[in-house]
Amino acid sequence: MEPLHNFDRLSLNQITTDRLNMREAVDCCVRAGVPWIALWRHKVAEAGLAASRRLVRDAGLRVSSLCRGGYFPAATAEERKARLDDNRRAVEEAAELGTDTLVLVCGPAPDRDIDYARRTVAEAIAELAPFARSHGVKLGIEPLHPMYAAERSVVNTMAQALALAEPFAPDDVGVVVDAFHVWWDPELYAQIERAKGRILGFHVSDWIVPVPDLLMGRGMMGDGVIELRRMRHAVEAAGYAGPIEVEIFNRQVWDMPGDEALSLIKDRYLKHV
């Protein structure tokens, strides 16, 4: 399988260099020749929305996605409404920042009733989709690894994310394929094929053995067991030619100086993705 030969599609997901503020992350990308960046809302809020937009544009970077909307299920109708309002703000921010993709981490159930939480997610997406469309923003449903089902998202497989997305036009609601979350799925490649025309993002990192930590245990590409190149070829065969985000929650990576992290990422990107 062909490796990548340049960095045209490489995107730094801001969480990978979590200790850097907006300006530092942008500067690192520029120095490294990384053309894309994925932004997180809390970091955008820290730097200011208009300032973030300016920093990124002035640097000539493009925003691959905004992380994240979602967290739809809640214990009360009032709280569910508040979360939907917050998602509308997320859509507006995405539009303002010049990205067409809002990543959805759909949220956990507020109680033991996971089926109900899943229905709530479907309803919320139906309500949010027309609003997002009117802002030129696509909703990218990201299935999260089943180990996060109780704490972060009740959407845990590609099949489930696709079933949520398919009632909508592919230009409005799609899926984000994050290798760390889906690599284990026996149906992965069949579901990637099913996702044809509906893949809105591809995130890479690696699954280290043994897993050091549930949340902070993602590895640098090449340090784990995920067949990243195979997965990239599969999403490409399913029509995805967009940016490839490197999204790594890992304290060792966080502790590296930004330029060093970017240099390692570029190396591993060519070798393993």
Cβ proximity of 101 and 140 under 8 Å: yes
Pick between residue 40 and residue 207 the one whose CB is nearest to a second copy: 207
For tokens 């990192």, the residue is: 205
Cα separation, 69 vs 45, whole angstroms: 14
List of residues 6+ apart from 58 with CB closer than 8 A: none
Q: Which of 8, 58, 79, 113 binds a second copy (CB under 8 A)?
A: 113
Which of residues 4, 49, 159, 264 is near a second copy by CB under 8 A? 159
CB of 165 to a second copy, least distance (A): 14
Our CB check for a second copy shows the closer of 52 and 160 to be: 160
Q: Which of 93, 142, 185, 247 binds a second copy (CB under 8 A)?
A: 185
d(CA 237, CA 199): 11
**Interatomic CA distance for residues 36 and 260, integer angstroms:** 17
Q: CA–CA separation, 47 vs 32, rounded Å?
A: 22
C-alpha dihedral over 215, 82, 139, 69, to 10 degrees? -30
Instruction: Closer to a second copy by CB, 177 or 256: give it.
Output: 177
In whole angstroms, what is the distance from residue 108 CA to residue 96 CA? 28
Rounded to an integer, what is the distance from CA 262 to the centroid of its chain?
Answer: 18
Residues 236-265 that bind a second copy (CB under 8 A): none
Asked if 210 interacts with a second copy (CB under 8 A), we say yes
- Is 66 one of the binding residues for a second copy (CB under 8 A)? no
Of the candidates 16, 17, 160, 205, which one interacts with a second copy according to CB under 8 A? Answer: 160
Residue 1 binds a second copy, judged by CB under 8 A: no
**Closer Cβ to a second copy, 157 or 250, answer by number:** 157
Total residues contacting a second copy by CB under 8 A comes to 31
Q: Is 247 helix (H, G, I), strand (E, B) or coil?
A: coil
Q: Interface with a second copy includes 273 (CB under 8 A)? A: no
Q: How far is the CB of 112 from a second copy (least distance, A)?
A: 5
The answer to the question of residue 186 lying near a second copy (CB under 8 A) is: yes
CB nearer a second copy, residue 17 or residue 157: 157
Of the candidate residues 130, 146, 239, 257, the single one contacting a second copy (CB under 8 A): 146
What is residue 143's DSSP assignment?
Answer: P
Between the alpha carbon of residue 243 and those of residues 140, 209, 232, the distances in Å are 14, 27, 11
Residues in touch with a second copy (CB under 8 A): 108-109, 111-114, 118, 145-147, 149-151, 156-157, 159-160, 183-187, 207, 209-211, 214, 224-227
